[in-house]
Amino acid sequence: MVAVYTLALAASAKRLSDVLGGTPGTPDETKNVPFRQLLFTATGAAATIGGAGVTTTTGVTVATTAPLPLSIGPFPTGAVKLSDLYAVGTGATLTVLGVPY
């Protein structure tokens, strides 16, 4: 099964697990599943992905003109959760395609 999420970004960082509902910034662990691979695209404006303190200059940029999605993984062992990542980007909408374990 593949999961697809969209998250409207702003000038301050948002935790990617906010797409799962609940209290913003606090993941609902019943929905915060581990992913084998995550693919990212941005529309409207560039998005930047990173850790909790991510800014437009400290993370990895997902350009709207990127020919391929940004990929994290695939991981043969271990995994990444949406709650591990934050994104920022005024005017950007980040689309995340995830392959859960």
Q: 78 pLDDT exceeds 80?
A: no
- Give the whole-angstrom CA distance, residue 11 versus residue 92: 10
Q: 77 pLDDT exceeds 90?
A: no
Q: What angle do CA 75, 76, 81 make, to 5 degrees?
A: 40
pLDDT of residue 1: 83
pLDDT of residue 76: 87
Supply the CATH number for residue 86's domain: 2.60.120
Structural domain of 94: 3-100
Query: Into how many domains does the chain fold?
Result: 1
- Give the whole-angstrom CA distance, residue 12 versus residue 96: 19
- Give the whole-angstrom CA distance, residue 90 versus residue 43: 11
Q: What is the pLDDT of residues 25-37, one digit of tens each?
A: 898 888 999 999 9
The tokens describing 78, both together, are: 């271990």
